[in-house]
Amino acid sequence: MPVIKTANMKLESVVVFCGSKNGQNPNYVKQTTELGKLIALLNLRMVYGGGKAGLMGVIADSVLANGGKVMGVIPKILTEWESQHTGLTELFVVPDMHTRKKMMYEMGDAAIVLPGGFGTLDELFEMLTWNQLKIHDKKIYILNTDGFYNHLRLHLQQLKKEGFLYELPEERIIFCDTPVEIFNKIG
């Protein structure tokens, strides 16, 4: 296991946003599993969307299997779609997606974004918008497994180039290629 610098880490919990599917690349599951193990080993509480399917289930299972604490927040409507995880440390069923996102943001000290679909992108961009509006100032770490988010990185550079951003994306978003790199940059 690579060395992780944690001397300056001031985190108690991290919010993880990821897909309710595994995706086609087996490295998504591999790095998600590794991230879950690191979260547990660093004694951080993980807050996530509460589902048991896809990368959501992989990250929760990995944190729990390594002795960590997992808090899920799932809207009532998604208990039918994603089948909430039943083995979590805590699970909150909330009325809607807005309540879910707000609660998740408030419970985490930083956000980690893994590969995912529309919901993951929605959560990422809402966090970025809230950062811009100074609703919060939490850093966002993107796990760019095998270049999954390279196109997003290019699009953010285009937004900057065309003058649509109030601050540089690098002030809020940190792209990382491995789970260990995330915690080395946090630390």
pLDDT tens per residue, range 152-184 = 999 999 999 999 988 888 888 999 999 999 999
Q: Report yes or no on 181 lying in a domain.
A: yes
Distance in angstroms (rounded) separating the CA atoms of residues 149 and 175: 8
Burial letters 10-21, b for 16+ CB under 10 A, else e:
ebeebbbbbbbe
The number of angstroms, rounded, from the C-alpha of 2 to the middle of its chain's C-alpha atoms is: 21
Instruction: Report H helices in 22-169.
Output: 26-41, 54-65, 78-81, 97-107, 118-132, 150-161
Question: Is the confidence at residue 6, as pLDDT, over 60?
Answer: no
Residue at 1 is within a domain: no
Domain that holds residue 57: 13-185
110-113/90-94 β-pairing = unpaired
Say yes or no to pLDDT of 2 above 50: no
**153 located within any domain:** yes
Is position 5 within any domain?
Answer: no
Given a cut of 90, whether residue 82 has pLDDT beyond it is: no
Looking at residue 26, what is its pLDDT? 98
pTM of the predicted structure, to 2 decimals: 0.92
Query: Domain containing 91 — which CATH number?
Result: 3.40.50.450
The total of structural domains in the chain comes to 1
Measured distance CA(42)–CA(94) in Å, rounded: 28
Flag whether 8 is in a domain. Answer: no
